[in-house]
Amino acid sequence: MIRISPIRVIDADGAQLGVITRDEALEKARTSGLDLVEVAPLEKPPVCRIMDYGKFKYQQKKKQHKGHVHHSKNKEIRLRPKIGDHDFLTKAGHARKWLAERDKVVCSVIFRGRENAHVDEGFKLVAKLTENLADIAKVEQNPSMMGRRIVVIYAPK
């Protein structure tokens, strides 16, 4: 597909072979079992590299995906129904910090043993946390029981 001759050629190790004709460069690429790829077509003379073209395309695609960053990550705080006030405020502070960093926060209230009989205490705890985070977060997924835990997801406003 390379039409212009002469071209500047770089071999597979990164060493410059200099400015040579297109046919010579293609012959060197064939002898090494690789492809001749034009990497800088706008230069004078154009720059070509001897490399594996499939690997080059794969790396290009990987770089393109690397540029696409998923910004919202999920962080989790785990609470128990009998959590102390100070511990609750500490966990709420962590959630507040993560929400300020634009991360989502998953809050799980975990029940063990006889605590399962007092699920309403867990929902009260979730309501208290929602009220505490109301200025910085909105509820993305309402509180719901999932097995032996209540799960709520908060997203930054």
pLDDT in tens, 33-53: 999 888 888 888 899 999 998
With a cut of 60, say whether residue 82 has pLDDT above it.
yes
Question: Which of 86 and 157 is assigned the larger pLDDT?
Answer: 86
Put simply, whether the predicted model's pTM sits higher than 0.85 gets the answer: no
pLDDT on residue 80: 94
Q: Kindly tell me if the per-residue pLDDT of 70 is higher than 60.
A: no
In contact, 23 and 62? CB cutoff 8 Å: no
Q: Which residue has the higher pLDDT, 12 or 73?
A: 12
Strand ranges across the sheet with 47-51: 16-20, 7-10, 47-51, 35-40
Task: Tell me the pLDDT tens digit for each residue of 85-128.
Answer: 999 999 999 999 999 998 999 999 999 999 999 899 999 999 99
Q: What is the pLDDT of residues 7-16, one digit of tens each?
A: 999 988 888 8
Predicted pLDDT of residue 156? 92
- As given in the structure block, the two tokens for residue 140 are 């993305």
Q: 73 near 113, Cβ under 8 Å? A: no
Q: From CA 111, how far away is CA 19, in angstroms rounded?
A: 73
Write down all domains in the chain, each with its CATH number in brackets.
7-67 (3.10.20.80), 74-156 (3.30.110.10)
